[in-house]
Structure 1
Amino acid sequence: MNKTGVVIAINISKEKGVIKTPIEVGFFKENHGLVGDAHAGDWHRQVSLLGDESIDKIRAMGIDDLGSGKFAENITTKDIILYKLPVGTKLKIGETIQEVTQIGKKCHAGCAIKSQVGDCVMPREGIFTKILKAGKIIPGDKIEVIE
């Protein structure tokens, strides 16, 4: 399994359950998450990550215009199969250190993403992390599994 990947986008929103907007640089605070994001806080799902490979599965269903943030993920990744990483895996992403806390999630009723996109891959293949070491992340930053 590939132990490295790359960040292709950082995405943010002021509200939960809505599509996120890509930003040029994300500041991630220890035990909080992405500064300014609705999902940040002192809990186990501070940051959400989704692989572009997972988004490709929905694109293959004939749904166009699926850019970064459409599934409300904070970090869009490439070249690492996130949902195969066990809970407890530590990741170095940009300047941050993050720990995988959850794989997938229950999709809440009335999800804007599912109604706009038709299907949501996040409940199946998205992962959640908490921030162990603060720092900034920008698109192009490397993602490394820390052994």
Structure 2
Amino acid sequence: MASGGVVVAVSRSAVHGFAKVNQDVVRLAAGVGVEGDVHSGMAVQHMSRRGPNPPPNLRQVHLMQTELFDELAGRGFTVAPGNLGENISTRGIDLLGLPVGTRLHLGETAVVELTGLRNPCTQIDGHQDGLMRAVLDRDADGNLIRKAGVMSVVLVSGLVRPDDAIVVELPAGPHAPLAPV
């Protein structure tokens, strides 16, 4: 395990919407997500993915790197923690470069496991016009790069606060890159 970074902010919302409200502390519940957040649950809670037999919730906790906010500010956008619907805003970790199955130890006891990339939706443009395009990019081969954070499931319950350390634990064996979930 390696020290990776720090929690900048923690956020949640009890209702479906876009932005989440910053909190002093959130409780992550194993197998469920952020207590009190509309996206918590064992089955998927996202409005476009729910149905009579919803799939398992691989999107319990949304993490986003605040370095993206710096990049967006350089392009004329104003984005703060929670604005893009993330639960945990981080600094000092290349979240997008981590493999599937990476475990992040947050605070004293909480552990989440990365399941994939957030696939940004057009609601982002509701925050600021043009922001959807700004959180997408293309690599040298023309492949789409999604920069709007990563999704995870909670393995171990615990409290998470701003300024908590984040410890990165890479999975054993060959590493698979994150893909949209």
Question: What is the TM-score with the length of structure 2 in the denominator?
Answer: 0.73
Counterpart of 1:115 in structure 2 is 126
Paired residue total: 142
Distance 2:96 2:118 in 1: 8
Deviates more, 1:97-106 or 1:127-136: 97-106
Larger radius of gyration: 2
Letter of the 1:132 partner, please give it: L
CA apart distance, 1:16: 3.1
Question: With structure 1 as the length reference, what TM-score do the two structures score?
Answer: 0.89
| One-letter amino acid of the structure 2 residue matched with residue 115 of structure 1 | G
2:111 to 93, 97, 100: 97
Report the alpha carbon displacement of residue 3 of structure 1 after superposing the two structures with TM. Answer: 5.1
CA–CA separation in structure 2 for the residues paired with 1:59 and 1:29: 33
* Structure 1 segment 27-46 matched on structure 2, within 5 A: 27-42=27-42, 43-46=57-60
Letter in 2 for 1:135: G
- TM-superposed CA distance for 1:104, in Å, is 2.7
Structure 1 unpaired stretches of 5+? none
1:88-130 CA-partner distances (Å, limit 9, x unpaired): 11111112011000123152x4x1x322223143882210010
Q: Could you report, residue by residue, the CA deviation over 1:50-99 in whole angstroms, capped at 9, with x for unpaired residues? A: 000012121111123x2110111000000101011111111111120110
Residues 121-140 of structure 1 deviation map (CA, whole Å, 9 limit, x = unaligned): 38822100100000000000
* Shift in Å, 1:17: 3.9
CA contact (8 A) 1:83 1:104 kept: no
1:142 match: 165
Question: Counterpart in 2 of 1:48?
Answer: 62
Q: Which amino acid is 1:140 matched to?
A: D
Q: RMSD over aligned Cα, in angstroms?
A: 1.8
Distance 1:115 1:137 in 2: 29
Judging changes above 3 Å, is the alpha-carbon distance between structure 1 residues 20 and 144 closer, same or farther for their aligned structure 2 residues?
same
Q: Where has structure 1 moved over 4 Å in runs of 4 or more?
A: none
Query: Quick one: percent identity of the two aligned structures?
Result: 33
